[in-house]
Structure 1
Protein backbone atom coordinates (compact mmCIF):
# COMPACT_ATOMS: atom_id res chain seq x y z
CA UNK A 1 0.00 0.00 0.00
CA UNK A 2 1.22 3.48 -0.88
CA UNK A 3 0.12 6.47 1.20
CA UNK A 4 0.80 10.19 0.78
CA UNK A 5 -0.05 13.01 3.18
CA UNK A 6 -0.27 16.21 1.16
CA UNK A 7 -0.22 19.69 2.69
CA UNK A 8 0.69 21.68 -0.43
CA UNK A 9 0.68 21.34 -4.19
CA UNK A 10 1.88 17.96 -5.43
CA UNK A 11 1.73 15.64 -8.44
CA UNK A 12 1.61 11.84 -8.11
CA UNK A 13 2.05 9.26 -10.86
CA UNK A 14 0.49 5.84 -10.22
CA UNK A 15 1.11 2.40 -11.68
CA UNK A 16 -2.56 1.62 -12.25
CA UNK A 17 -6.04 2.49 -10.97
CA UNK A 18 -9.04 0.14 -11.08
CA UNK A 19 -11.40 2.24 -8.91
CA UNK A 20 -11.50 5.76 -7.45
CA UNK A 21 -13.17 7.08 -4.31
CA UNK A 22 -12.80 10.76 -3.40
CA UNK A 23 -14.32 12.61 -0.43
CA UNK A 24 -14.00 16.41 -0.33
CA UNK A 25 -15.57 19.11 1.82
CA UNK A 26 -14.69 22.17 -0.23
CA UNK A 27 -12.75 23.02 -3.35
CA UNK A 28 -13.04 21.00 -6.54
CA UNK A 29 -12.32 17.61 -8.06
CA UNK A 30 -11.86 16.90 -11.76
CA UNK A 31 -11.88 13.29 -12.97
CA UNK A 32 -10.65 12.85 -16.54
CA UNK A 33 -10.35 9.71 -18.64
CA UNK A 34 -6.93 8.97 -20.09
CA UNK A 35 -5.06 6.20 -21.88
CA UNK A 36 -1.82 7.33 -20.25
CA UNK A 37 -0.49 6.65 -16.77
CA UNK A 38 -2.96 7.66 -14.01
CA UNK A 39 -2.06 10.82 -12.08
CA UNK A 40 -3.21 12.86 -9.11
CA UNK A 41 -2.56 16.60 -9.17
CA UNK A 42 -3.30 18.44 -5.91
CA UNK A 43 -3.46 22.22 -5.47
CA UNK A 44 -4.70 24.74 -2.91
CA UNK A 45 -4.83 22.47 0.15
CA UNK A 46 -6.36 24.12 3.23
CA UNK A 47 -7.41 22.77 6.60
CA UNK A 48 -6.46 19.16 7.37
CA UNK A 49 -3.87 17.61 5.02
CA UNK A 50 -5.14 15.60 2.08
CA UNK A 51 -4.51 11.87 2.30
CA UNK A 52 -4.07 9.75 -0.83
CA UNK A 53 -4.04 5.95 -0.55
CA UNK A 54 -3.29 3.54 -3.38
CA UNK A 55 -3.67 -0.17 -2.71
CA UNK A 56 -4.27 -3.00 -5.20
CA UNK A 57 -5.37 -0.43 -7.78
CA UNK A 58 -7.91 1.20 -5.43
CA UNK A 59 -7.31 4.96 -5.21
CA UNK A 60 -8.78 6.80 -2.20
CA UNK A 61 -8.54 10.57 -1.73
CA UNK A 62 -9.82 12.60 1.24
CA UNK A 63 -8.89 14.90 4.12
CA UNK A 64 -7.40 13.09 7.09
CA UNK A 65 -8.43 13.54 10.72
CA UNK A 66 -11.99 14.68 10.01
CA UNK A 67 -12.86 15.36 13.65
CA UNK A 68 -16.27 15.05 15.29
CA UNK A 69 -17.98 17.50 17.62
CA UNK A 70 -18.46 21.26 17.36
CA UNK A 71 -14.76 22.15 17.13
CA UNK A 72 -14.23 19.39 14.61
CA UNK A 73 -17.14 20.64 12.54
CA UNK A 74 -15.71 24.17 12.50
CA UNK A 75 -12.32 22.88 11.41
CA UNK A 76 -13.81 20.59 8.79
CA UNK A 77 -15.56 23.56 7.17
CA UNK A 78 -12.12 24.91 6.32
CA UNK A 79 -11.05 21.73 4.55
CA UNK A 80 -10.46 22.59 0.90
CA UNK A 81 -8.45 21.23 -1.99
CA UNK A 82 -8.35 21.40 -5.77
CA UNK A 83 -7.72 17.92 -7.15
CA UNK A 84 -7.42 16.64 -10.72
CA UNK A 85 -7.30 12.88 -11.26
CA UNK A 86 -6.73 11.03 -14.53
CA UNK A 87 -7.90 7.41 -14.67
CA UNK A 88 -8.64 4.78 -17.36
CA UNK A 89 -12.00 5.26 -19.11
CA UNK A 90 -13.41 2.03 -17.61
CA UNK A 91 -12.56 3.04 -14.02
CA UNK A 92 -15.56 3.15 -11.62
CA UNK A 93 -15.69 6.46 -9.75
CA UNK A 94 -17.36 7.39 -6.46
CA UNK A 95 -17.41 11.05 -5.35
CA UNK A 96 -18.71 12.26 -1.96
CA UNK A 97 -18.89 16.06 -1.80
CA UNK A 98 -20.10 18.70 0.65
CA UNK A 99 -19.59 22.07 -1.05
CA UNK A 100 -16.89 20.97 -3.49
CA UNK A 101 -17.64 21.13 -7.21
CA UNK A 102 -16.87 18.27 -9.61
CA UNK A 103 -16.23 17.72 -13.31
CA UNK A 104 -16.24 14.19 -14.75
CA UNK A 105 -15.42 13.51 -18.42
CA UNK A 106 -14.95 10.54 -20.72
CA UNK A 107 -15.69 7.65 -18.36
CA UNK A 108 -17.55 4.53 -19.48
CA UNK A 109 -18.07 2.57 -16.24
CA UNK A 110 -20.19 3.38 -13.18
CA UNK A 111 -20.06 6.96 -11.87
CA UNK A 112 -21.58 7.73 -8.46
CA UNK A 113 -21.79 11.30 -7.12
CA UNK A 114 -23.22 12.44 -3.79
CA UNK A 115 -23.22 16.20 -3.18
CA UNK A 116 -24.75 18.54 -0.62
CA UNK A 117 -24.32 21.97 -2.22
CA UNK A 118 -21.55 21.36 -4.74
CA UNK A 119 -22.31 21.50 -8.48
CA UNK A 120 -21.43 18.63 -10.82
CA UNK A 121 -20.68 18.63 -14.56
CA UNK A 122 -20.72 15.36 -16.52
CA UNK A 123 -19.36 15.41 -20.08
CA UNK A 124 -19.33 12.40 -22.41
CA UNK A 125 -19.91 9.90 -19.61
CA UNK A 126 -21.28 6.44 -20.39
CA UNK A 127 -22.32 3.45 -18.34
CA UNK A 128 -24.41 3.95 -15.20
CA UNK A 129 -24.56 7.42 -13.64
CA UNK A 130 -25.97 7.67 -10.10
CA UNK A 131 -26.17 11.26 -8.85
CA UNK A 132 -27.75 12.63 -5.68
CA UNK A 133 -27.74 16.18 -4.30
CA UNK A 134 -29.37 18.33 -1.65
CA UNK A 135 -29.21 21.65 -3.49
CA UNK A 136 -26.30 21.19 -5.88
CA UNK A 137 -26.87 21.30 -9.65
CA UNK A 138 -26.13 18.46 -12.04
CA UNK A 139 -25.35 19.51 -15.63
CA UNK A 140 -24.58 16.85 -18.23
CA UNK A 141 -24.04 16.57 -21.95
CA UNK A 142 -23.32 13.69 -24.29
CA UNK A 143 -24.34 10.96 -21.86
CA UNK A 144 -24.78 7.43 -23.19
CA UNK A 145 -26.15 5.10 -20.56
CA UNK A 146 -28.51 4.88 -17.61
CA UNK A 147 -28.98 7.87 -15.31
CA UNK A 148 -30.42 7.90 -11.78
CA UNK A 149 -30.91 11.30 -10.12
CA UNK A 150 -32.34 12.29 -6.74
CA UNK A 151 -32.35 15.70 -5.05
CA UNK A 152 -34.15 17.94 -2.61
CA UNK A 153 -33.76 21.29 -4.38
CA UNK A 154 -30.99 20.56 -6.88
CA UNK A 155 -31.58 20.93 -10.63
CA UNK A 156 -30.79 18.37 -13.33
CA UNK A 157 -29.98 19.49 -16.87
CA UNK A 158 -29.26 16.97 -19.64
CA UNK A 159 -28.26 18.00 -23.16
CA UNK A 160 -27.46 15.71 -26.05
CA UNK A 161 -26.72 12.02 -25.90
CA UNK A 162 -28.93 8.96 -25.96
CA UNK A 163 -30.31 7.81 -22.62
CA UNK A 164 -31.02 4.11 -22.09
CA UNK A 165 -32.88 4.89 -18.89
CA UNK A 166 -33.51 8.04 -16.86
CA UNK A 167 -35.01 7.95 -13.40
CA UNK A 168 -35.21 11.38 -11.74
CA UNK A 169 -36.83 12.31 -8.42
CA UNK A 170 -36.75 15.72 -6.75
CA UNK A 171 -38.79 17.83 -4.34
CA UNK A 172 -38.40 21.33 -5.75
CA UNK A 173 -35.53 20.95 -8.22
CA UNK A 174 -36.05 21.59 -11.94
CA UNK A 175 -35.62 18.77 -14.44
CA UNK A 176 -34.67 19.75 -18.00
CA UNK A 177 -33.62 17.20 -20.62
CA UNK A 178 -32.99 17.45 -24.37
CA UNK A 179 -32.09 13.87 -25.27
CA UNK A 180 -32.97 10.97 -27.57
CA UNK A 181 -35.20 8.20 -26.24
CA UNK A 182 -34.54 5.21 -28.48
CA UNK A 183 -36.34 1.84 -28.87
CA UNK A 184 -37.65 0.41 -25.60
CA UNK A 185 -35.87 2.89 -23.35
CA UNK A 186 -37.52 4.45 -20.31
CA UNK A 187 -37.68 8.00 -18.95
CA UNK A 188 -39.36 8.48 -15.56
CA UNK A 189 -39.54 11.80 -13.68
CA UNK A 190 -41.21 12.57 -10.35
CA UNK A 191 -41.31 15.93 -8.54
CA UNK A 192 -43.32 17.70 -5.86
CA UNK A 193 -43.12 21.33 -6.98
CA UNK A 194 -40.21 21.15 -9.41
CA UNK A 195 -40.79 22.05 -13.06
CA UNK A 196 -40.17 19.46 -15.77
CA UNK A 197 -39.16 20.41 -19.33
CA UNK A 198 -38.39 17.68 -21.86
CA UNK A 199 -37.41 17.94 -25.53
CA UNK A 200 -37.37 14.80 -27.67
CA UNK A 201 -36.94 14.09 -31.41
CA UNK A 202 -40.09 14.10 -33.52
CA UNK A 203 -39.52 10.42 -34.33
CA UNK A 204 -39.63 9.38 -30.66
CA UNK A 205 -41.54 6.13 -30.14
CA UNK A 206 -43.00 5.80 -26.63
CA UNK A 207 -46.04 5.35 -24.47
CA UNK A 208 -46.56 8.72 -22.77
CA UNK A 209 -48.20 9.51 -19.44
CA UNK A 210 -47.89 13.04 -18.03
CA UNK A 211 -49.69 13.86 -14.78
CA UNK A 212 -49.86 16.82 -12.40
CA UNK A 213 -52.21 17.44 -9.51
CA UNK A 214 -52.09 21.24 -9.78
CA UNK A 215 -49.46 22.12 -12.39
CA UNK A 216 -49.87 23.02 -16.06
CA UNK A 217 -49.15 20.43 -18.77
CA UNK A 218 -48.19 21.50 -22.31
CA UNK A 219 -46.89 19.60 -25.33
CA UNK A 220 -46.04 20.20 -28.99
CA UNK A 221 -46.50 16.51 -29.90
CA UNK A 222 -49.82 16.00 -31.72
CA UNK A 223 -52.08 13.10 -30.87
CA UNK A 224 -51.68 13.08 -27.09
CA UNK A 225 -55.00 13.13 -25.25
CA UNK A 226 -55.75 15.52 -22.41
CA UNK A 227 -57.78 14.38 -19.40
CA UNK A 228 -58.39 17.22 -16.92
CA UNK A 229 -60.17 16.36 -13.70
CA UNK A 230 -60.86 18.24 -10.49
CA UNK A 231 -57.97 16.51 -8.69
CA UNK A 232 -55.44 16.01 -11.49
CA UNK A 233 -54.44 16.85 -15.05
CA UNK A 234 -53.26 14.09 -17.38
CA UNK A 235 -51.87 13.91 -20.89
CA UNK A 236 -51.54 10.44 -22.37
CA UNK A 237 -51.04 8.74 -25.70
CA UNK A 238 -48.69 6.87 -27.99
CA UNK A 239 -45.84 8.35 -30.01
CA UNK A 240 -44.83 6.27 -33.02
CA UNK A 241 -45.18 2.58 -32.27
CA UNK A 242 -44.88 3.08 -28.50
CA UNK A 243 -41.65 1.14 -27.98
CA UNK A 244 -40.34 3.23 -25.09
CA UNK A 245 -41.93 4.63 -21.96
CA UNK A 246 -42.16 8.27 -20.84
CA UNK A 247 -43.76 8.97 -17.46
CA UNK A 248 -43.84 12.28 -15.57
CA UNK A 249 -45.66 12.84 -12.26
CA UNK A 250 -45.74 16.10 -10.30
CA UNK A 251 -47.84 17.54 -7.51
CA UNK A 252 -47.73 21.25 -8.34
CA UNK A 253 -44.89 21.49 -10.84
CA UNK A 254 -45.56 22.30 -14.49
CA UNK A 255 -44.72 19.83 -17.27
CA UNK A 256 -43.64 20.79 -20.79
CA UNK A 257 -42.95 18.21 -23.51
CA UNK A 258 -41.49 19.65 -26.73
CA UNK A 259 -40.45 18.08 -30.02
CA UNK A 260 -37.44 18.84 -32.17
CA UNK A 261 -36.54 17.84 -35.74
CA UNK A 262 -34.65 14.59 -36.18
CA UNK A 263 -30.90 15.08 -36.80
CA UNK A 264 -31.09 14.30 -40.54
CA UNK A 265 -33.83 16.92 -40.92
CA UNK A 266 -32.04 19.57 -38.88
CA UNK A 267 -29.13 20.24 -41.20
CA UNK A 268 -27.87 23.68 -42.07
CA UNK A 269 -29.21 24.61 -45.52
CA UNK A 270 -25.88 26.18 -46.36
CA UNK A 271 -24.41 22.65 -46.48
CA UNK A 272 -26.71 21.63 -49.36
CA UNK A 273 -25.10 21.37 -52.81
CA UNK A 274 -25.69 24.27 -55.19
CA UNK A 275 -26.44 23.52 -58.86
CA UNK A 276 -24.53 25.43 -61.52
CA UNK A 277 -26.61 27.90 -63.44
Structure 2
Protein backbone atom coordinates (compact mmCIF):
# COMPACT_ATOMS: atom_id res chain seq x y z
CA UNK A 1 0.00 0.00 0.00
CA UNK A 2 1.22 3.48 -0.89
CA UNK A 3 -0.05 6.55 0.96
CA UNK A 4 0.35 10.33 0.57
CA UNK A 5 -0.72 12.99 3.08
CA UNK A 6 -1.51 16.13 1.09
CA UNK A 7 -1.36 19.46 2.90
CA UNK A 8 -0.59 21.77 -0.03
CA UNK A 9 -1.26 21.83 -3.79
CA UNK A 10 0.58 19.05 -5.60
CA UNK A 11 0.36 16.43 -8.37
CA UNK A 12 0.59 12.70 -7.65
CA UNK A 13 1.38 10.50 -10.69
CA UNK A 14 0.59 6.81 -10.17
CA UNK A 15 2.22 3.98 -12.11
CA UNK A 16 0.16 0.95 -11.02
CA UNK A 17 -3.14 0.17 -12.81
CA UNK A 18 -6.32 1.51 -11.20
CA UNK A 19 -9.68 -0.26 -11.49
CA UNK A 20 -11.59 1.44 -8.68
CA UNK A 21 -11.67 5.03 -7.44
CA UNK A 22 -13.18 6.31 -4.20
CA UNK A 23 -13.28 10.05 -3.48
CA UNK A 24 -14.80 11.67 -0.38
CA UNK A 25 -14.31 15.39 0.24
CA UNK A 26 -15.82 18.39 2.05
CA UNK A 27 -16.39 21.71 0.25
CA UNK A 28 -14.60 22.76 -2.92
CA UNK A 29 -14.79 20.69 -6.10
CA UNK A 30 -14.14 17.22 -7.49
CA UNK A 31 -13.42 16.54 -11.17
CA UNK A 32 -13.10 12.92 -12.35
CA UNK A 33 -12.36 12.14 -16.00
CA UNK A 34 -11.97 8.79 -17.74
CA UNK A 35 -8.91 8.29 -19.97
CA UNK A 36 -7.42 5.58 -22.19
CA UNK A 37 -4.51 5.03 -19.79
CA UNK A 38 -4.33 2.17 -17.27
CA UNK A 39 -2.91 4.28 -14.42
CA UNK A 40 -4.32 7.35 -12.70
CA UNK A 41 -3.26 10.90 -11.88
CA UNK A 42 -4.29 13.00 -8.90
CA UNK A 43 -3.92 16.78 -8.73
CA UNK A 44 -4.83 18.82 -5.68
CA UNK A 45 -4.92 22.47 -6.77
CA UNK A 46 -6.39 23.97 -3.57
CA UNK A 47 -6.55 22.70 -0.01
CA UNK A 48 -7.52 24.18 3.33
CA UNK A 49 -7.94 22.37 6.64
CA UNK A 50 -6.79 18.87 7.63
CA UNK A 51 -4.64 16.75 5.28
CA UNK A 52 -6.22 14.92 2.37
CA UNK A 53 -5.14 11.28 2.39
CA UNK A 54 -4.43 9.61 -0.97
CA UNK A 55 -3.99 5.84 -0.81
CA UNK A 56 -3.42 3.18 -3.45
CA UNK A 57 -3.80 -0.43 -2.39
CA UNK A 58 -3.68 -2.86 -5.28
CA UNK A 59 -5.94 -1.50 -8.02
CA UNK A 60 -8.01 0.65 -5.64
CA UNK A 61 -7.31 4.37 -5.32
CA UNK A 62 -8.83 6.28 -2.37
CA UNK A 63 -8.86 10.07 -1.92
CA UNK A 64 -10.46 11.17 1.36
CA UNK A 65 -10.14 12.50 4.89
CA UNK A 66 -9.47 10.16 7.79
CA UNK A 67 -12.83 11.00 9.43
CA UNK A 68 -15.05 10.94 6.34
CA UNK A 69 -16.58 7.59 5.42
CA UNK A 70 -18.96 6.50 2.66
CA UNK A 71 -21.48 5.11 5.14
CA UNK A 72 -23.30 7.95 6.85
CA UNK A 73 -21.94 10.54 4.41
CA UNK A 74 -25.30 12.22 3.82
CA UNK A 75 -25.63 12.97 7.54
CA UNK A 76 -21.98 13.90 8.09
CA UNK A 77 -20.97 16.84 10.25
CA UNK A 78 -17.44 17.89 11.14
CA UNK A 79 -17.26 16.97 14.84
CA UNK A 80 -14.22 19.17 15.47
CA UNK A 81 -15.54 22.19 13.62
CA UNK A 82 -12.58 22.32 11.21
CA UNK A 83 -12.96 24.57 8.20
CA UNK A 84 -11.92 22.52 5.19
CA UNK A 85 -11.98 22.91 1.45
CA UNK A 86 -10.25 21.09 -1.40
CA UNK A 87 -10.21 21.19 -5.19
CA UNK A 88 -9.09 17.85 -6.58
CA UNK A 89 -8.93 16.41 -10.11
CA UNK A 90 -8.47 12.71 -10.82
CA UNK A 91 -7.83 11.04 -14.18
CA UNK A 92 -8.64 7.31 -14.14
CA UNK A 93 -8.97 4.55 -16.74
CA UNK A 94 -12.34 4.92 -18.45
CA UNK A 95 -13.39 1.40 -17.42
CA UNK A 96 -12.81 2.00 -13.70
CA UNK A 97 -15.57 1.96 -11.09
CA UNK A 98 -16.03 5.40 -9.54
CA UNK A 99 -17.51 6.40 -6.17
CA UNK A 100 -17.66 10.05 -5.19
CA UNK A 101 -19.00 11.40 -1.90
CA UNK A 102 -19.21 15.18 -1.59
CA UNK A 103 -20.33 17.32 1.33
CA UNK A 104 -20.87 20.80 -0.06
CA UNK A 105 -18.52 20.21 -3.01
CA UNK A 106 -19.29 20.54 -6.72
CA UNK A 107 -18.79 17.25 -8.58
CA UNK A 108 -18.12 16.66 -12.29
CA UNK A 109 -17.64 13.14 -13.67
CA UNK A 110 -17.06 12.56 -17.39
CA UNK A 111 -15.96 9.85 -19.82
CA UNK A 112 -16.33 6.90 -17.42
CA UNK A 113 -17.55 3.52 -18.70
CA UNK A 114 -17.59 1.65 -15.39
CA UNK A 115 -20.18 1.74 -12.62
CA UNK A 116 -20.58 5.18 -11.06
CA UNK A 117 -22.00 6.05 -7.63
CA UNK A 118 -22.40 9.61 -6.33
CA UNK A 119 -23.54 10.86 -2.95
CA UNK A 120 -23.91 14.57 -2.29
CA UNK A 121 -25.34 16.84 0.37
CA UNK A 122 -25.48 20.42 -0.93
CA UNK A 123 -23.10 20.58 -3.90
CA UNK A 124 -24.31 20.22 -7.50
CA UNK A 125 -23.35 17.19 -9.60
CA UNK A 126 -22.71 17.06 -13.36
CA UNK A 127 -22.39 13.76 -15.23
CA UNK A 128 -21.25 13.81 -18.86
CA UNK A 129 -20.87 10.91 -21.30
CA UNK A 130 -21.07 8.08 -18.76
CA UNK A 131 -21.66 4.64 -20.28
CA UNK A 132 -21.98 2.41 -17.21
CA UNK A 133 -24.82 2.22 -14.67
CA UNK A 134 -25.16 5.33 -12.50
CA UNK A 135 -26.67 5.67 -9.03
CA UNK A 136 -26.86 9.14 -7.48
CA UNK A 137 -28.18 10.36 -4.13
CA UNK A 138 -28.42 13.98 -3.09
CA UNK A 139 -30.08 16.01 -0.37
CA UNK A 140 -30.35 19.52 -1.81
CA UNK A 141 -27.77 19.60 -4.59
CA UNK A 142 -28.94 19.66 -8.21
CA UNK A 143 -27.93 16.92 -10.64
CA UNK A 144 -27.44 17.26 -14.39
CA UNK A 145 -26.79 14.24 -16.61
CA UNK A 146 -25.80 14.78 -20.23
CA UNK A 147 -25.47 12.00 -22.84
CA UNK A 148 -25.51 9.28 -20.18
CA UNK A 149 -26.09 5.89 -21.85
CA UNK A 150 -26.07 3.63 -18.79
CA UNK A 151 -29.06 3.02 -16.53
CA UNK A 152 -29.61 6.10 -14.34
CA UNK A 153 -31.07 5.85 -10.82
CA UNK A 154 -31.48 9.09 -8.83
CA UNK A 155 -32.82 9.81 -5.33
CA UNK A 156 -33.16 13.43 -4.19
CA UNK A 157 -34.87 15.40 -1.44
CA UNK A 158 -35.01 18.97 -2.73
CA UNK A 159 -32.42 18.87 -5.53
CA UNK A 160 -33.54 19.20 -9.15
CA UNK A 161 -32.77 16.61 -11.84
CA UNK A 162 -32.00 17.57 -15.44
CA UNK A 163 -31.31 14.95 -18.12
CA UNK A 164 -30.02 16.34 -21.43
CA UNK A 165 -29.87 14.12 -24.53
CA UNK A 166 -30.86 11.15 -22.37
CA UNK A 167 -29.53 8.09 -24.15
CA UNK A 168 -29.96 5.37 -21.52
CA UNK A 169 -32.61 2.69 -21.75
CA UNK A 170 -33.59 3.08 -18.08
CA UNK A 171 -34.13 6.18 -15.96
CA UNK A 172 -35.56 5.88 -12.46
CA UNK A 173 -35.80 9.00 -10.33
CA UNK A 174 -37.49 9.87 -7.05
CA UNK A 175 -37.64 13.30 -5.37
CA UNK A 176 -39.58 14.94 -2.58
CA UNK A 177 -39.79 18.51 -3.84
CA UNK A 178 -37.13 18.61 -6.56
CA UNK A 179 -38.20 19.29 -10.15
CA UNK A 180 -37.35 16.95 -13.02
CA UNK A 181 -36.64 17.83 -16.65
CA UNK A 182 -35.99 14.79 -18.86
CA UNK A 183 -34.96 15.31 -22.49
CA UNK A 184 -34.59 12.07 -24.45
CA UNK A 185 -32.17 11.77 -27.37
CA UNK A 186 -33.94 10.87 -30.65
CA UNK A 187 -31.06 8.58 -31.69
CA UNK A 188 -30.75 6.75 -28.37
CA UNK A 189 -33.11 3.85 -28.90
CA UNK A 190 -32.58 3.03 -32.57
CA UNK A 191 -30.30 0.05 -31.87
CA UNK A 192 -30.84 -0.52 -28.15
CA UNK A 193 -33.64 -1.81 -25.96
CA UNK A 194 -36.82 0.24 -25.50
CA UNK A 195 -36.63 2.84 -22.75
CA UNK A 196 -38.05 2.33 -19.29
CA UNK A 197 -38.61 5.75 -17.64
CA UNK A 198 -40.06 5.85 -14.11
CA UNK A 199 -40.32 9.18 -12.28
CA UNK A 200 -41.93 9.96 -8.92
CA UNK A 201 -42.17 13.15 -6.86
CA UNK A 202 -44.26 14.53 -4.03
CA UNK A 203 -44.46 18.22 -4.91
CA UNK A 204 -41.87 18.63 -7.66
CA UNK A 205 -42.81 19.41 -11.25
CA UNK A 206 -42.05 16.91 -14.02
CA UNK A 207 -41.37 17.82 -17.66
CA UNK A 208 -40.45 15.16 -20.23
CA UNK A 209 -39.51 15.88 -23.83
CA UNK A 210 -40.02 12.85 -26.06
CA UNK A 211 -38.75 12.23 -29.57
CA UNK A 212 -41.25 12.38 -32.41
CA UNK A 213 -42.34 9.85 -33.43
CA UNK A 214 -42.10 8.07 -30.06
CA UNK A 215 -42.70 4.44 -29.11
CA UNK A 216 -43.93 3.97 -25.54
CA UNK A 217 -46.80 3.17 -23.21
CA UNK A 218 -47.51 6.31 -21.20
CA UNK A 219 -49.04 6.66 -17.76
CA UNK A 220 -48.62 10.01 -16.00
CA UNK A 221 -50.71 10.97 -12.96
CA UNK A 222 -50.90 13.89 -10.53
CA UNK A 223 -53.26 14.15 -7.57
CA UNK A 224 -53.74 17.91 -7.50
CA UNK A 225 -51.38 19.35 -10.12
CA UNK A 226 -51.98 20.20 -13.77
CA UNK A 227 -51.13 18.10 -16.82
CA UNK A 228 -50.40 18.93 -20.45
CA UNK A 229 -49.46 16.86 -23.49
CA UNK A 230 -48.16 17.73 -26.95
CA UNK A 231 -49.20 14.31 -28.34
CA UNK A 232 -52.65 13.90 -29.96
CA UNK A 233 -52.52 10.11 -29.46
CA UNK A 234 -52.54 10.46 -25.67
CA UNK A 235 -55.63 10.98 -23.52
CA UNK A 236 -55.73 13.78 -20.96
CA UNK A 237 -58.40 13.39 -18.33
CA UNK A 238 -59.23 12.15 -14.85
CA UNK A 239 -61.69 12.65 -12.06
CA UNK A 240 -62.04 15.78 -9.95
CA UNK A 241 -58.64 16.64 -8.53
CA UNK A 242 -56.73 13.74 -10.05
CA UNK A 243 -55.46 14.31 -13.59
CA UNK A 244 -53.70 11.87 -15.88
CA UNK A 245 -52.11 11.38 -19.28
CA UNK A 246 -52.45 7.87 -20.67
CA UNK A 247 -52.14 6.05 -23.97
CA UNK A 248 -49.72 4.43 -26.37
CA UNK A 249 -47.28 6.09 -28.74
CA UNK A 250 -46.16 4.01 -31.71
CA UNK A 251 -46.04 0.30 -30.97
CA UNK A 252 -45.66 0.88 -27.24
CA UNK A 253 -42.33 -0.92 -26.87
CA UNK A 254 -41.02 1.47 -24.24
CA UNK A 255 -42.60 2.50 -20.95
CA UNK A 256 -43.02 5.93 -19.36
CA UNK A 257 -44.54 6.26 -15.91
CA UNK A 258 -44.60 9.53 -13.98
CA UNK A 259 -46.41 10.27 -10.72
CA UNK A 260 -46.58 13.33 -8.46
CA UNK A 261 -48.88 14.43 -5.68
CA UNK A 262 -49.12 18.19 -6.11
CA UNK A 263 -46.66 18.92 -8.91
CA UNK A 264 -47.58 19.44 -12.55
CA UNK A 265 -46.65 17.09 -15.40
CA UNK A 266 -45.90 18.14 -18.97
CA UNK A 267 -45.13 15.89 -21.94
CA UNK A 268 -43.33 17.84 -24.64
CA UNK A 269 -42.41 16.80 -28.16
CA UNK A 270 -39.04 17.21 -29.82
CA UNK A 271 -39.25 18.73 -33.30
CA UNK A 272 -38.66 16.35 -36.16
CA UNK A 273 -35.14 16.44 -37.62
CA UNK A 274 -34.74 19.13 -40.23
CA UNK A 275 -34.59 17.97 -43.85
CA UNK A 276 -31.45 18.71 -45.80
CA UNK A 277 -31.39 19.75 -49.48
CA UNK A 278 -29.60 17.41 -51.85
CA UNK A 279 -26.78 18.98 -53.87
CA UNK A 280 -26.93 18.49 -57.62
CA UNK A 281 -24.41 19.18 -60.36
CA UNK A 282 -25.20 22.86 -60.24
CA UNK A 283 -24.34 22.98 -56.53
CA UNK A 284 -27.84 24.30 -55.74
CA UNK A 285 -30.38 21.59 -55.04
CA UNK A 286 -30.78 18.49 -57.23
CA UNK A 287 -30.01 18.07 -60.90
CA UNK A 288 -32.84 20.31 -62.06
CA UNK A 289 -31.93 23.07 -59.65
CA UNK A 290 -34.70 22.29 -57.15
CA UNK A 291 -34.09 21.30 -53.54
CA UNK A 292 -34.75 17.66 -52.64
CA UNK A 293 -35.36 16.63 -49.05
CA UNK A 294 -33.67 13.58 -47.61
CA UNK A 295 -35.98 11.21 -45.72
CA UNK A 296 -35.98 11.48 -41.94
CA UNK A 297 -36.06 8.53 -39.66
CA UNK A 298 -37.99 8.47 -36.41
CA UNK A 299 -36.72 7.13 -33.13
CA UNK A 300 -38.24 4.96 -30.48
CA UNK A 301 -37.88 5.68 -26.81
Deviation at 1:126, TM superposition (A): 1.1
Deviation at 1:230, TM superposition (A): 2.0
Partner residue of 1:4? 4
Q: Which runs of 5 or more residues in structure 1 are unaligned?
A: none
Partner residue of 2:267? 257
Partner residue of 1:29? 30
Deviation at 1:45, TM superposition (A): 1.0
Partner residue of 1:266? 274
Q: Work out the CA distance in 2 between the residues paired with 1:215 and 1:65.
A: 44
For residue 127 of structure 1, give the secondary structure of its aligned residue in structure 2. Answer: coil
**Count of aligned pairs:** 270
For residue 215 of structure 1, give the secondary structure of its aligned residue in structure 2. Answer: coil
- Normalised TM-score (structure 2): 0.85
For residue 104 of structure 2, give the secondary structure of its aligned residue in structure 1. Answer: coil
Q: Work out the CA distance in 1 between the residues paired with 2:104 and 2:30.
A: 11
Partners of 1:63 and 1:79 within 8 A in 2 = no
Q: Work out the CA distance in 2 between the residues paired with 1:266 and 1:128.
A: 32
Q: Work out the CA distance in 2 between the residues paired with 1:66 and 1:219.
A: 46
| 1:70–1:127 distance in 2 versus 1, CA, 3 Å | closer
Deviates more, 1:174-183 or 1:78-87: 174-183
Partner residue of 2:292? none
Q: Work out the CA distance in 1 between the residues paired with 2:164 and 2:77.
A: 42
For residue 141 of structure 2, give the secondary structure of its aligned residue in structure 1. Answer: coil
Q: Work out the CA distance in 1 between the residues paired with 2:25 and 2:209.
A: 34
Deviation at 1:72, TM superposition (A): 2.7
Partner residue of 1:246? 256
Superposition map of 1:199-210 within 5 A:
199-210=209-220
Q: In the alignment, is residue 156 of structure 1 matched against residue 161 of structure 2?
A: yes
Q: Work out the CA distance in 2 between the residues paired with 1:129 and 1:228.
A: 35
**How big is each residue's C-alpha offset from its partner over 1:100-155, in whole Å with a ceiling of 9 and x where there is no partner?**
11110001111100000011111111110101111101112111110000100001
Partner residue of 1:237? 247
Deviation at 1:226, TM superposition (A): 2.1
Q: Work out the CA distance in 2 between the residues paired with 1:272 and 1:130.
A: 44
Deviation at 1:44, TM superposition (A): 1.2
RMSD of aligned C-alpha atoms? 1.9
Superposition map of 1:29-68 within 5 A:
29-36=30-37, 37-65=39-67
Q: Which runs of 5 or more residues in structure 2 are unaligned?
A: 70-75, 290-301
Q: In the alignment, is residue 138 of structure 1 matched against residue 154 of structure 2?
A: no
